[in-house]
């Protein structure tokens, strides 16, 4: 019972983290058609900001958490302003290559300016404890991951459904030109989408730092690949799809770890992708993906 509960919590926590990062990718992709592979470096900037602040004498974990989220949101806005805005109307592949370029440049900046080796960051270690509920011992970090991700997604849903800018982001995912015809500034819609994407990455960064206790230049890259897969499972561009895809990916991974005999544990990733391929053969548009309506005539 204890074991089953622990694995369930594992799956939920992994899934929540994938969902956060996948939502960040999806919110930008849905309005710009840009797969932002530099999303991992937004997580990186966030993590290194906390590392530098701690090195300079910051001791408050709360300030570190706020700093992580703020730094990530600002980094995302800066990436858009500097790198993605000039290629906004270029073909999709240009945006994709630009994102890889940003990713490589920023990773190398971490290596050159700080160090290629992992650096220890202990300021958020306090988040990672064992909590005891009666006979059950659970990781506080996993519980927080689940609760915070849930609240964050709830806040995002409220923002997208209640605020004018949120409505504009949803509308822009289908028809950006007409959003501009409402007098809503395209730059503002896109900057907001990047800021949201960054803030989600910042929250993920907090949990990564707390779990690993260190930062390294390639910190976010593999996570973004997983988030990309989560988006594909859910249907690229669909926000509910990204959240669901992330959660499903968490469950597949943990489920395989539990089900596979120890000596076959190395096949976990391979089998994960086999399951995903099978899923895509059955539903090529992803779980919640849908065809985009283009209207009668493009303007």
Partner 1 sequence: MLTVDNLIVRYGAVSAVRDLSLKVGRGELVALLGPNGAGKSSTINALTGLVTPASGRIVLDGQDISRVRTEDRIRAGLTSTPEGRHIFANLTVGENLRLGAATRRDPKGVRQDIERFLALFPVLSERYGQAAGTLSGGEQQMLAIARSLMSRPKLLLLDEPSLGLAPKIVVQIFDFIGELKAEGLTLLVVEQNAKQALRFADRVYVVSAGTLRHSGPPAGLADEHGLFNLYIGG
Q: Which is nearer to partner 1, 115 or 163 (CB)?
A: 163
Structure tokens, 133 = 């509920």
Say whether 254 sits in a helix, a strand or coil. Answer: helix
Selected binder of partner 1 within 175, 195, 218, 271 (CB under 8 A): 175
Selected binder of partner 1 within 96, 146, 167, 287 (CB under 8 A): 167
Say whether 175 sits in a helix, a strand or coil. Answer: coil
* Best CA proximity match to 28, nearest among 17, 19, 16, 36: 36
Q: Which is nearer to partner 1, 63 or 181 (CB)?
A: 181
Q: How far is the CB of 167 from partner 1 (least distance, A)?
A: 5
Q: How far is the CB of 165 from partner 1 (least distance, A)?
A: 9
> Is position 184 an interface residue for partner 1 (rule: CB under 8 A)?
yes
> Is position 185 an interface residue for partner 1 (rule: CB under 8 A)?
yes
Cα gap 56→156, rounded to integer Å: 33
Structure tokens, 116 = 């290629």
> Is position 81 an interface residue for partner 1 (rule: CB under 8 A)?
no
Q: Is the separation of the CB atoms in 288 and 248 below 8 Å?
A: no
Q: Is the separation of the CB atoms in 260 and 268 below 8 Å?
A: yes
Q: Using the structure block, give the residue that is written with the tokens 């561009």.
A: 237
Q: What is the DSSP letter of 119?
A: E
Selected binder of partner 1 within 57, 135, 266, 295 (CB under 8 A): 295
> Is position 191 an interface residue for partner 1 (rule: CB under 8 A)?
no
> Is position 263 an interface residue for partner 1 (rule: CB under 8 A)?
no
> Is position 178 an interface residue for partner 1 (rule: CB under 8 A)?
yes
> Is position 293 an interface residue for partner 1 (rule: CB under 8 A)?
yes
> Is position 218 an interface residue for partner 1 (rule: CB under 8 A)?
no
* Best CA proximity match to 232, nearest among 223, 222, 244: 244
Which residues here bind partner 1, judged by CB under 8 A?
Answer: 164, 167-168, 170-171, 173-175, 177-186, 293, 295-297, 299
């Amino acid at each position: 019972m204890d074991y089953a509960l622990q694995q369930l919590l594992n799956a939920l926590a992994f899934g929540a983290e994938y969902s956060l990062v996948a939502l960040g990718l999806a919110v930008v992709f849905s309005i710009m058609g840009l797969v932002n592979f530099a999303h991992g470096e937004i997580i990186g900037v966030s993590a290194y900001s906390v590392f530098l602040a701690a090195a300079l004498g910051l001791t408050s974990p709360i300030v570190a958490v706020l700093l992580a989220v703020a730094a990530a949101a600002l980094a995302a806005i800066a990436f858009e302003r500097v790198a993605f805005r000039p290629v906004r109307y270029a073909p999709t592949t240009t945006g994709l290559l630009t994102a890889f370029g940003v990713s490589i440049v920023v990773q190398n900046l971490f290596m050159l300016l700080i160090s290629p080796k992992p650096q220890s960051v202990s300021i958020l270690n306090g988040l990672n404890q064992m909590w005891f509920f009666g006979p059950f011992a659970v990781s506080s970090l996993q519980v927080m991951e689940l609760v915070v991700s849930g609240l964050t997604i709830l806040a995002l849903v409220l923002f997208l459904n209640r605020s004018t800018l949120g409505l504009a982001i949803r509308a822009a995912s289908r028809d950006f030109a007409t959003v501009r015809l409402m007098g809503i500034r395209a730059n503002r819609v896109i900057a907001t989408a990047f800021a949201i994407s960054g803030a989600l990455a910042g929250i993920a960064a907090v949990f990564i730092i707390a779990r690993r206790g260190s930062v390294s230049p390639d910190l976010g890259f593999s996570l973004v690949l997983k988030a990309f897969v989560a988006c594909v499972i859910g249907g690229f561009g669909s926000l509910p799809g990204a959240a669901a895809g992330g959660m499903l990916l968490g469950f597949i991974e943990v489920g395989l770890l539990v089900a596979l005999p120890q000596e076959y544990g190395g096949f976990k990733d391979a089998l994960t992708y086999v399951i995903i391929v099978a899923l895509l053969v059955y539903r090529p548009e992803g779980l919640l993906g849908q065809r985009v309506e283009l209207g009668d005539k493009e303007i």
